[in-house]
Structure 1
């Protein structure tokens, strides 16, 4: 029986700006894939939306507390028409396979210093 999995996250743009200010390229490389950065043009609002998207996907996948999933294992990139899509690699892909999630949909929005994302998937297990 298929079940619906959801995840939602809210991120403050100022937190992304603070991360960039404090740690620069090290922060950006630890949190975002090169494609995410290119799609967002390194704009903090768009990066915050992608950060919220990553967190929403992780909430949907429900890793164990002891399970370290690098944020770059979840990428929120743009498809050919400019819509956000989720690409999983590494541990995130393993978690998705373990719960039978073959496709995850994500919606992003940002306004007035906040970014929100919701992720939805069908799980076969």
Structure 2
């Protein structure tokens, strides 16, 4: 049976700024891939949108309690046309495969200090 999976998240730009201020490169490298950083130019608004996108994807995947899905295993990058796309690796890719999750679509927005993302996918389980 095919089901629709969704996930939504909201992130504050100020939280990203605080993370960068407090931890610098360590914060950025722990959460974001090199491609995400290149796509955003390390702009806090765009990074907050990517963070919300990552969290929305994890919510869509529905890991079991205690099951770790590192946020770097979910990358929200731009395709050739400039639209955001999701690339999974590691634990996120394994979880998506285990639940029969097809490609994940993601939508991002940011305004007035907040960023929001919604992720949608079809699943065969």
TM-score range, shorter chain: over 0.9
Paired with 2:5 and 2:115, the residues of 1 have a C-alpha distance of 21
**Which residue is 1:36 aligned to?**
36
What SS does the aligned partner of 1:63 have? coil
Q: CA deviation at 1:63?
A: 0.5
**Which residue is 1:64 aligned to?**
64
Moved over 4 A (4+): none
Paired with 1:64 and 1:26, the residues of 2 have a C-alpha distance of 27
Q: CA deviation at 1:102?
A: 2.1
**Which residue is 1:113 aligned to?**
113
Paired with 2:43 and 2:72, the residues of 1 have a C-alpha distance of 18
C-alpha deviations, 1:3-41, integer Å up to 9, x for none? 000000000000000000000000000000000000001
Q: How does 1:1-125 map to 2 (within 5 A)?
A: 1-125=1-125
C-alpha deviations, 1:45-68, integer Å up to 9, x for none? 000000000000000000012111
Unmatched segments (≥5 aa) in structure 1: none
Paired with 1:86 and 1:35, the residues of 2 have a C-alpha distance of 12
Unmatched segments (≥5 aa) in structure 2: none
What SS does the aligned partner of 1:75 have? strand
Return the TM-score normalized by structure 2: 0.99
Paired with 1:24 and 1:65, the residues of 2 have a C-alpha distance of 30
